[in-house]
Amino acid sequence: MITRGRSGSVFLVALFVMVVGFGYLLAVQFEPTVNKAYVVPVQNVELVEIMKGLENENNTAAQKIVDLRGQLAELESKGAATSDEVRVLTQQLGELRGKAGLAEATGPGVVVTLSDSSRTPTLSDDPNYFVIHDGYLRSIVNLMRRYGATAIAVNDQRVLVNSPIVCAGPIILVNSSRMSPPYVITALGNPDMLADSISQDVFFRVLQMYSDQFEITCSLEKKTSVTVPASLDNAAFKYAVSAK
């Protein structure tokens, strides 16, 4: 009787441990999965908010430019514009053109240069590590925005919040302009802040690691003066109409 009692107790204890353990495994397996499915990294949220803000500013500036042009044309057509009114409207128009990316911008900034590796991959190498991808350009542009750039260009193309940067076979399209390496990404802004922030970012460090291992070009320079060209096509103007 004593033996049977001890065996029953051991069985119950073992069963209890199994149930608790199974419950724990279920909790570990399913609860984090549900939570993680809805977690968005803080940096991504921050970047989305920045881009939304920039897009709104760009669209607002485009609309104001159309309105100011209409006001200026109306005053001139009526012969009612004084020199002061013309000067004020012209000044406002110039400032808004700069915000909308329709005017060339010059000032201090940084330049990031990316280019394919000059080394030929071996049969055991993954060739994707030896070339610059469109995602690299988009990531660098996003870093520049996040860290305070006021104007950005890739080679000779002004990059706005709605500018596409996509792969098209062996080339990359920026604003529908065909580009091949080297890719020179220019940003207007505080050179020290931009250079320090970009150089410490994890993504840029990965590119530098690729540079060491696969010999792609990845450089970052501070400049006392850079020039970002004007945008040749701002989609915001396609939908902006003059206020009546």
**pLDDT score of 24 more than 70:** no
Q: What is the pLDDT at residue 88?
A: 75
Polymer length in residues for the chain: 244
pLDDT on residue 231: 83
Query: How far is the C-alpha of 137 from the C-alpha of 224, rounded, in Å?
Result: 23
Amino acid identity of residue 243, one-letter, is A
Kindly tell me if the per-residue pLDDT of 8 is higher than 80.
Answer: no
Tell whether the model's pLDDT for residue 116 goes beyond 90. Answer: yes
Of 124, 130, 115, give the one whose Cα is nearest residue 213. 130
Q: Per-residue pLDDT averaged across 33-39, rounded?
A: 32
Least confident of 3-17, 74-88, 142-156: 3-17
Q: Which residue has the higher pLDDT, 96 or 26?
A: 96
Contacts 24+ apart (CB under 8 A), 86-91: none
Biggest alpha carbon–alpha carbon distance for the chain = 116
pLDDT bracket for residue 154 (50, 70, 90): very high
pLDDT score for 53: 57
The first and second tokens of residue 143, run together, are 């870093």
Q: Are 222 and 110 in contact (CB under 8 A)?
A: yes
The C-alpha atoms of residue 151 and residue 51 are separated, in whole angstroms, by 13
Q: Hunting for tokens 């802040």 — which residue is that?
A: 193
pLDDT at 74 over 70: no
Which one is predicted more confidently, 8 or 197? 197
pLDDT tens digits for range 177-197: 899 999 999 999 999 999 999
HEC per residue, 213-240? HHCCEEEEEEEEEEEECCCCCCHHHHCC
Q: Which residue has the tokens 């010999």?
A: 215
Beta bridge partners, 19, equal none
Statement: residue 136 has pLDDT above 80: yes
Of 108, 120, 138, residue with least CA distance to 207: 138
Residue 84 has pLDDT above 60, yes or no: yes
**Cα torsion angle, 99, 101, 107, 111, sign:** positive
pLDDT band at 161 (very low <50, low <70, confident <90, very high): confident
SS3 106: strand
Instruction: Summarize the confidence of residues 225-231 as an average pLDDT.
Output: 92
Q: How confident is the model at residue 210 (pLDDT cuts 50, 70, 90)?
A: very high
Q: What is the pTM of this model?
A: 0.63
Name residue 51's beta-bridge partners: none
